[in-house]
Structure 1
Amino acid sequence: MNHTFAAAALALCGLCARTLGWRPPEFWDATPAELAASLGLLGPDATAAGFDRQTLQRLMEHDHGR
């Protein structure tokens, strides 16, 4: 995993803590679509671009091994 993803994840985790009251486990349990919807980044008919939970899990496992 690169430093850009790690920095973005840390920033989003902090944003969720401040605005949504989420603790880190709640942040990491959310899918990218749930995160975007919770932050009001998607309209009701929009679909989330990016990666799915399986890809996120693989990235987290890869990072954990370092």
Structure 2
Amino acid sequence: MSDPRFFKSSYSGGSGGNCVECAYGSDSVFVRDSKDTDGTVLSFGRPAWATFIDDARRGLFDQPR
């Protein structure tokens, strides 16, 4: 992907700057640190990303209180 259009989640505003940005490609999702936009970009296949998002929504990665 030559010029991905990265975006931040609307939920990222109150997290103290600990955010990632995402961009969608035809077969992949790209993720980078919002504070280091020239740094490493991770790439995930769309099925793997969809599984990650579903698991996050179900609370699989929530920290115990």
TM over 0.5: no
More strand by share: 2
TM-score (norm 1): 0.32
Greater relative contact order, per chain length (Cα 8 Å cut-off, separation 6+)? 1
Find the structure with the greater CA-based Rg. 2
More helix by share: 1
TM-score (norm 2): 0.32
